[in-house]
Chains A and B, each alone.
Chain A
Amino acid sequence: MVVGYGTQKKSVVTGSISSVKAKDLEKVPSGRIEQALQGRVSGVTIMQNSGQPGSSSTIRVRGVTTFGGAGNNPLWVVDGVVVDAGGIGYLNQSDIESIEVLKDAASAAIYGTRAATGVIMVTTKKGKAGKMTVGYNGFYGISAPEKTLKLLNATQYATLLNERSVAGGGNVLFPDLSGLGTGTDWQNAIFNHSARRQTHEISLSGGNERSTYFFSAGYQDQQGIVATDISNYTRKSLRINSTHKISNRITFGQTLGYSRQKAVGIGGTDEFGGVLSSAINLDPTTPLVVTDPVIANSAPYSVNPVIRDASGNPYGISSWVGQEMKNPIAYIQTRLGSYDWADDIVGNAFLEANITKDLKIKSTVGAKLAYWGGVGFTPVYYLSATTRTTQNSYGKSNEQVFNWNIENTITYNKKISDHSFTVLLGQGAYVEGIGGGQGTTLFNLPITSYKDASFSFDIPASSRTTSSYDATEHKVSSLFARLNYNYQEKYLLTGIIRRDGSSRFGANNKYGTFPSFSLGWVVSKEGFWTSNKLINLLKIRGGYGIVGNDAIRNFGYLSTVNGGFNYTLGNSGVITTGYAPASLDNPDLRWEETKQANAGFDATLVSNLNLSVDYYTKKTTGILRPVTIPGYVGVSSSPVANIADMENSGIEVELNYRKKIGDVTLSTTGSFSTLKNKVTYVASDANYISGDAGFQSMGAVTRTQVGESYNSFYGFRTDGIFQNEAEISNYKNTSGGLVQPNARPGDFRWVDANGDGSITDLDKVFLGNNLPKYTYGLTINLEYKGFDFMVFGQGAGGNKIFQGLRRLDIGNSNFQTVAMSRWTGEGTSTKYPRLTSTDPNGNFGKMSDFYLEKGDYARIKLVQLGYTLPARIANKIYASRLRVYVTGENLLTLTKYTGYDPEIGGGVFGIDKGYYPQARSVIFGIQLQF
């Protein structure tokens, strides 16, 4: 089993490490690597950030370790090279030999400063001595949405809007409902039920006693299910890994991966006018395309550069729902020709020398060179009175970064009678962020279509803008040591110490030291253990350690004078740059520390069942975060400080079972994890900080407070709906006044949580977690002769989702059909309030449990049926192995959630403002080996 800077026999491992092997990965259709881990390793919560092809996922190893989004990403180490979480998409899944997740401090401490959020180590495939093998893997599939929302049709919409307007004292908006019919189904216009998806990969590997090699080339192409013309992704990748014995004692090896990714994205997926948000909020009475010549020849169509379809008819523009909402099909036309790209080169090279039989030294250099950027064309368009341009523009950006690291280790291995020990001494230096970027935008190009766009047009300087920046280097310097000891492989000990210095801290606290230890006892090797059929093997493990985190901005400890405090002086609009201190310094800024205790056991039961159970508690102290200081101090950006403590704890169970019954081989693996997160200290009188998720004018919808889970939902609690005036007048406070004097029948009754007799912000309470309390996964494999069958299910629960699909400030936005069950009179509803344009009670305007839904889900993620053709048939095409399969992905999701998809990642999970759902795919594939 791969551990940091070496390998260890699984039987003597004392830490908590989960592992996924190539064999498991090969059944998962290629996508981002994070997805391949979901549900397969315990203690790791994975939520996809978007269904956009190529999109990343949010990963949390053993809960939320620190505050903020990026600081919680685990440390990815690919063949010894640290790769940032966002950049991991360059990896081709089929190139991976194994993935190990170091979860407990005692395992992760070898990565010291940046290991508090867990370490994910990826090892790519190496060649094996022997005959060359050539492989081909390919599949082709079709994707479609799993579900669409039920929205009001035109007649229902007009009915409800009339009711809403009249209740608010306004006019009847649609005097004549006849003839409205069902109207436009905007969702139908944007969803693609036959999006293409394909992957082709070839690999060559082999070698001899002295040299081995592995070569692969891959191509992945995936269309999105939403607005496919502006939602697709391709990746081309190459890999060359090789190892060479220079002499009997000296080995040289290298890995090198290259990939080019190109992604076309739909733009925003929030409430401010994404394709999905527009489709949900636009009124169904506006036509997709205006075919009535009278309307098409009048304003706004006749006097503006509106977008037209192939026959020259203008796309409909809503006169009811404005602001950022726009006809999504017209919007797609305005984004054609825009894309993002990334080139990544990641590799390492090492020299290893066996000085003596027991002493080994190794020197490794790793580097990542990444280039990325975007190209975008914006034509002159009029999508609505609010969303329009008066000039075209064509922009591109180019950014680059170079990271490198060097590590040197000495390993001494010795076995003296029953005592085995391994000592590792190491040193490392890491530099990230050598680079920068620049961008240029041209305006008023003499063209109308993106097809003609070029940066070679001679555009005057007054119609160009540029931007540029230098990246800031982040440097870490480290020394580390590890001792592994065991007695007869029965009593096990691992001790690690690592000392790191980071450029992100000042002289007062530049260095941090991180120790850890873990112990193991293989009970079943004891003399008193009598061999039995029930428990074949039992190992008890435990450990404790401290790891660190420096994931904050650079120079948080310094006060710097920055530009950007500008003013326009003179009468020609020239801007003069002003300089001022942006923040206060904090020379005492120090590491954030996470102390973690882990206890568990590994057992083999009834010879076929392997079971691992772990319990951990994890306490992070001195959480680094920009701290809110009084405004009267007068700095424009918050200084960084160590301001909070937080605890996570949980139980993790992993099991696998393998049994052969006649010709049938059954293997099952399962994982189950619980998670409890609690903030234990916040450096603020109020014991809380405002949450990180907000929704329009509601402001923050979460809050981070002592005693509660990180970013818990926070708002008013509803207690049914006032059915009549009597109920309102009976809702009195102790002095006899009405608690809700502005309420009308049909409005929510708010819980007066603080009992002061009126409804104020002080009545807000905690309404649930954004973090799932438990996650689980189960894989069942069946093999019978040439057939194999696999089903993989995965799920999460105990969390809430904020369902913010409808725009608050656009009163005429469409509703989901649940609004048909609104309150319309006594006894009509206890859940959905009356509709009124004024909403004096804040039924819709206040953050409350009305917006929260259960996030529990169980998903049949994958079902695969494969058939390996008999060798004699494969041989006819000179193949050694030929397997064909069909896979269904996301075939079924059990959930009560009313949005598109309950799996919503991000800095705060479960914030749905028009989330791009995952696709359901059916895939046909071939695996060939020569």
Chain B
Amino acid sequence: MKKIVIYTLATGFLLVAGLTSCKKTFTDVTPKGQFLSENYYANKDQAFSALVAVYDVLRKNSGGFENMISMMNAGSDDQYAGGGGATDGAGIQGFSNYTLNANIIPGSFWNDYYQGIFRANTLLAKLPNTTMDASLKARFVAETKALRGFYYFNLVRLFKNIPLILEPLTASNMYDVTQETPAAVYTQIEKDLAEAIPDLPATVTLSTDAGRLTKGAAQAILGKVFLYDNKMPQAAAQFAEVNGTPGGTSQYGYKLLTNFSDLWVVANKFNSEYILECSHSSAGNSDWGWWGSGRDEGNSLNVMVGPRSYSRPAGSTAPDLPSGWSFNVFTQDFYDAISGDPRFAATVFDLKALAAAGQASYIAGYQNTGYFLNKFLPRQADVRTGGGAMELNYKQNTPIIRLADTYLMEAEALGATGARAQALLDAVRARVGLSSVPVSMAAIKAERRLELAGEGHRFFDLVRWGDAASKLAGRGFVANKNEIFPIPFRELQGTKLVQNPGY
């Protein structure tokens, strides 16, 4: 007995001594459910998954609390930040009342686009060694470059003085980066998009590929980039290919919807007027823990712009809405501008009037005017029926560029003069039953304001036109400073980056 036990002990010792002597195997643990970087991007499927990760950042248009549309709306003269109180979202409030500084600028407007760029750079570096069909690879490269161009375009518009990074950084060189001139950034964006366009498909299969970049979408982005880069003839040329005959169906199948209000019907995803849109889904079961991250596929703009504690008495004719957070309420000035326009009802949800008539009640949020952004209001019928937080799983797609926008941008690029510019403006007005007005910059400006209200364009338009200082003076806008955001404070720590002027 005693011997057996001693032998057992001795064997135990040897066994474990063996375990520890093969140290390399015992304490090496292989990751599960994830891949090692050096082995990935080997084949078509892995390359496609990596491409999807580049697309992921398009979500920024209306996904997450810090999304482009609500942020840019808040800084325009048409809308306020709103929300629950003066401190509800320091970044959006700070942009709305022009007190943004390096500490309160939400870092995600910088980081998220650079994340897309990092993934694009990684994929572009890896794709040459991927085993896959050459033409498909060319399309992947084109999509990646077009997306990288688009992300840089948003960065350069938001921050102006940015690093231009075209290869993935490493721990050893990440602090050597410097800012590039805006001109150089624009040159690279134009190059990326120009290289992408030939290899992109004219159309995609909507059932499986809707949302992926097409020739038309890349041309619309490039046209817009040229417009901001003040290259008007080049801009007009790109837009002409996208727009075709004003009011007609373009070569890529784009056509204005007959009813303006149909643009905001949730089921009308990928309609003929949306050239590039931010795609959302209620199937992601998005939850608070990862709100606004890569897994969040919900539309956050919807809940943000809904009225707070909305309810209707029995028999009310007011629409059935879930409650929201009261962001992006319209200003009285905008209300006065659009009341009487055929687009009023689709654009403004006049809860002030409904409440006065006893048809609905709500709790007034910060800067409340009672005028809510109807284009993106959450609808009771769209409240998700799966898992996750109800607030975070709306599924309305939002336009990034739509045909009425490219019509008006082409008219602008044409110098707001000539028969084609007139026809483009007329087509936008005719769709909503408005008669022709003589084309001019003033007419285009007025049209863009009403047509594209609440879609996040107004602030950029004002800056491009040089009107920001006059239109936004009352909000605290400082010329030669507030046209762009401050560089987030963290980006200046230990790096060679320099803060934007005035901040």
The answer to whether B36 and A567 have CB atoms under 8 Å apart is no
In the complex, are the beta carbons of B86 and A566 less than 8 A apart?
A: no
Asked if A569 meets B212 with Cβ closer than 8 Å, knowing A634-B119, A697-B88, the reply is yes
Per-position contact with A for B461-497: 1 when CB-CB < 8 Å, else 0?
Answer: 0000000000000000000000000001011011101
Provide the residues of chain B in CB contact with A839, threshold 8 Å. 86
Interface string of A543-560 (1 = CB under 8 A from B): 000000000001100111
- CB contact under 8 A between A566 and B295, given known A579-B46, A697-B87: yes
User: A736 at interface (Cβ–Cβ under 8 A)?
Assistant: no
* Closest chain A CB from B278 CB (angstroms): 9
Name the CB-closest residue of A to B360: A299
**Cα distance A475–B97 when bound, in Å?**
54
How far, in angstroms, from A809 to B390 measured CA to CA in the complex?
21
Binds A, one of B134-142, B193-201, B309-317: B309-317
Interface centre among A303, A384, A477, A569, by most B CB within 10 Å?
A569
Nearest chain B residue, comparing its CB with the CB of A560: B34
Nearest chain-A residue to B151 (Cβ)? A634
Collect the chain A residues with CB atoms within 8 Å of residue B40's CB: 561, 579
* B 33-55 binary contact with A (CB < 8 Å = 1; else 0): 11111001000001001111111
Q: Give per-residue flags for B207-228: 1 if the beta carbon is below 8 A from chain A beta carbons, else 0.
A: 1111110000000000000000
Q: Is the CB of A427 within 8 A of B16?
A: yes
Contacts of A809 in B (CB 8 A): 83-85, 87-88
Question: How many chain-A residues does the 8 Å CB contact rule pick out?
Answer: 107
Q: Is the CB of B55 within 8 A of A560?
A: no
- Give the secondary structure class of A's interface: loop
Cβ contact within 8 Å between A575 and B297: yes
B338 interface hit (Cβ, 8 Å): no
- Alpha-carbon distance between A510 and B35 when the two chains are bound, in angstroms: 21
Query: Within 8 Å of chain A (Cβ to Cβ): is B386?
Result: yes
- Pick from B19, B165, B209, B497: contact of A477, CB under 8 Å: B19
Chain B residues whose CB sits within 8 angstroms of the CB of A469 once the complex forms: 33
Q: How far is the CA of A558 from the CA of B1 in the complex (A)?
A: 50
Nearest CB of chain B from residue A383's CB, rounded to whole Å: 11
Residues of A within 8 A of B117 (CB): 634
Q: Using a CB-CB cutoff of 8 Å, which residues 465-493 of chain A contact chain B?
A: 465, 469-470, 472-479
The verdict on A429 contacting chain B, using a C-beta distance below 8 Å, is yes
For A298, the chain B residues whose CB sits under 8 A away are: 313-314
Does A7 sit within 8 A of B, measured CB to CB?
A: no
A389 beta carbon closer than 8 Å to chain B: yes
Interface residue B232 (Cβ < 8 Å from any Cβ of A): no
Cβ of B442 under 8 Å from chain A = no
Q: How far is the CA of A298 from the CA of B322 in the complex (A)?
A: 18
* Interface hit among B5-13, B348-356, B407-415: B5-13
Contact: A475 with B56, CB < 8 Å? no
User: Considering only CB atoms, which chain A residue lies closest to B58 in the complex?
Assistant: A567
Given known contacts A576-B52, A761-B101, A568 and B281 CB-to-CB distance under 8 angstroms = yes
In chain B, what residue has the closest Cβ to A248?
B2
With beta carbons under 8 angstroms apart, the residue of B207, B361, B385 that contacts A571 is B207
Which of A393, A561, A567, A633 is close to B55, meaning CB atoms less than 8 Å apart? A567
A465 x B387 contact (CB < 8 A): yes
Least distance between A836 CB and chain B CB atoms (Å): 10
CB-CB under 8 A from A363, the residues of chain B are 9, 12-13
With contact pairs A302-B314, A573-B281, A632-B110 given, residues A463 and B46 touching in the complex (Cβ less than 8 Å):
no
Known A-B contacts A567-B211, A574-B281, A578-B55; the reply to A636 vs B115 at CB < 8 A is yes
Q: Does B280 contact A (CB under 8 A)?
A: yes
Name the residue among A393, A463, A566, A585 with the largest chain B CB count within 10 angstroms: A566
Cβ of A720 within 8 Å of any chain B Cβ, yes or no, is no
The A-contacting residues of B in range 52-70, CB under 8 angstroms, are 52-56, 58-59
Chain A 675-690 against B: per-residue CB contact (8 Å), 1 yes, 0 no? Answer: 0000000001110000
Interface assignment of A730: CB less than 8 Å from any CB of chain B? no
How many Å lie between the Cα of A620 and that of B297 in the bound state? Answer: 42
Q: Which of A123-131, A223-231, A623-631, A867-875 contacts B (4 or more CB under 8 A)?
A: A623-631
Q: State in angstroms the CA–CA spacing of A584 and B16 once bound together.
A: 35
Q: Is B383 an interface residue (CB 8 A)?
A: yes
Q: Are A319 and B279 in contact (CB under 8 A)?
A: no
- The answer to whether the Cβ of B130 comes within 8 Å of any Cβ in the partner chain is no
CA A472 to CA B497, docked complex, whole Å: 39
Q: A247-B5, A562-B34, A634-B168 are in contact. List 6 more A-B contacts (CB 8 A).
A: A559-B37, A566-B297, A570-B207, A575-B297, A634-B117, A810-B84
Show 10 A/B contacts (Cβ-Cβ < 8 Å), sorted by A.
A361-B9, A427-B20, A462-B386, A465-B285, A558-B31, A560-B36, A570-B207, A573-B282, A631-B111, A809-B87
The 9 closest A-B pairs by CB, nearest first: A634-B118, A578-B53, A578-B52, A631-B111, A565-B53, A697-B87, A580-B53, A565-B294, A385-B309
